Structure 1
């Protein structure tokens, strides 16, 4: 059974923080039905299109050490459920009851 780890307020905090970056990272989402979006770089309209209710996880793809550090600091300030990955960060929209959720 999956439970929600996020709400619209937190998703919007991510979106606005990334929009305000000088050089925002790329992103892609995976939905509850397993659909994986194409990699995208537009946060203002594309990220919020269709709402957030079916985002299983968001992958934020950083392209440099500097961008990785800046994005990490932003995500920790927002305090989000997720993990650091080799390509950036994964923010959990949903998790199963057996999964211990860590917060950035």
Structure 2
């Protein structure tokens, strides 16, 4: 696995989602070292960066409806992060398989 995000980009993502205030989406992460997927969490200010960013393989961002999805997508595009649309929101990648193509939101 190759890292494609750095601390600066993770902080930009964190700050943009936190700035949505009452519209901040829930998120969960997958650990690149042991494969653990966290529980869904809605607290971006402290919890998201609690253990640093170096082990985040991906973060899934859950949206509630089409309006919320568009609001979150607008913020993701501002920070220009590697990721994809999912059925329930978005997935932002911290690591990818070496040689894999990467789309940006």
* TM-score after normalising by structure 1: 0.96
Alpha-carbon deviation of 1:73?
1.0
- Give the 4+ runs in structure 1 shifted more than 3 A: none
Q: Please give the alpha-carbon distance, in whole angstroms, between the structure 1 residues aligned to 2:67 and 2:88.
A: 13
Aligned residue-pair number: 103
Q: Please give the alpha-carbon distance, in whole angstroms, between the structure 1 residues aligned to 2:89 and 2:8.
A: 22
Q: Please give the alpha-carbon distance, in whole angstroms, between the structure 1 residues aligned to 2:79 and 2:16.
A: 9
Show the counterpart of 1:78.
Answer: 79
Q: Considering only aligned residues, what root-mean-square deviation do their CA atoms show, in Å?
A: 0.8
Structure 1 stretch displaced more, 90-99 or 36-45: 90-99
- Structure 1: unaligned runs, 5 residues or longer: none
Kindly provide the CA deviation profile for residues 30-62 of structure 1, in whole angstroms up to 9, marking residues without a partner as x. Answer: 011200001000000000000000000000001
- Structure 2: unaligned runs, 5 residues or longer: none
* TM-score after normalising by structure 2: 0.95
